[in-house]
Each structure stands twice: as C-alpha cells, then as structure tokens.
Amino acid sequence: MMELTHLDDKGNVKMVDTSGKPVTLRRAVATGTIYMQETTLEMIAEGNIPKGDVFASARIAGIMAAKRCDELIPLCHSIPLDSVSVELHPLTDCDDLARVEIRSEVICRAQTGAEMEALTAVSIAALTIYDMIKAIDRTAVIGDIKLMEKSGGKSGEFIRGDH
C-alpha cells in the first residue's frame, strides 16, 4: 500500500518535508474546458462582453492564480515559478457545441512539482470566463480539468494517454 505523505505517524495532517529533495527542472501541463452557448462565444470573439476582454482577463487571472497556489491549496508548497502560460482556444464543433479549451504550462526549478499550479491556473481562468459571461449565459459549464503532462523530480515523467 502507498504511504500517505501528508499524514504523520499518528494520522495528523502535515506538510510534506521536501528539504532533502534536490532542486530539479519541473514542468506541468493542465487543461480544462468551459462550455457555453454559441452566441456567447461569438460575443467573446467580437469583444462584446460588457465586462471587457474575456481572454485577456482569464489569462491574467490564471497566471496570478498559479503564483498564489500555496495560499489557495492547503499544504501546497510555495515554489518559485520560472514560467506560467495560459492559452485559450475558442472552438465550435459540428454539433454546435461552443467551448473554450484552456491549457496552462508551468515551469520551475524546485524541490516539488508544479502540477497544482498548472491545475489552479486552468481552474481560475475558467472561473474568470464564467464570471465575465454569467450575466448573458447562465448555462455555461466548466469541466474536464486534468493534468496532461508532468516532468521532473523523483517520479519522473507522466503523459496522459488520452490527449
């Protein structure tokens, strides 16, 4: 059975001690999607959302969230981030399913990984989009948030097989 790293020998919650781990180059990629009405996506593309530039706001919010991940997630380490990117891809498929696919990549040199930072960036970017469109589209749905890739550290490389 796998040892639970966030519990001490008495079962109390603790922060994992990373002091003995080497600093290595770490990279994490996360993705997520926000689904919406096609007319809402058109309004975003045309710059007609009353709250302003949806994509610029979502990118900035995602980057800021990654930088503050340790303040948002209990027991998450504060790590120095070298790079955070948030990409937004508006799409409408043949079933007229309008959506914005969100991708975040985080790179750092640290003693622990950047998975939570990448996932937080995607989550907050999606929430920012929702906040900016909720007055015109309450049907929007956020989903599919997942880690796609990670590298660096003791556990090595992970690449999700379904992408």
Active site amino acids: 131
Task: Pull the structure tokens for residue 121.
Answer: 């960036």
The partner residues of 103 in beta bridges, in order of sequence, read 31, 87
Tell me how far apart the alpha carbons of residues 99 and 130 are, in angstroms, rounded to a whole number.
Answer: 11
Closest CA to 162 of 34, 36, 35, 31: 31
| CA dist 45 → 11, 89, 90, 124, 143 (Å) | 51, 11, 8, 20, 21
Q: How far apart are the C-alpha atoms of 55 and 162, rounded to whole Å?
A: 26
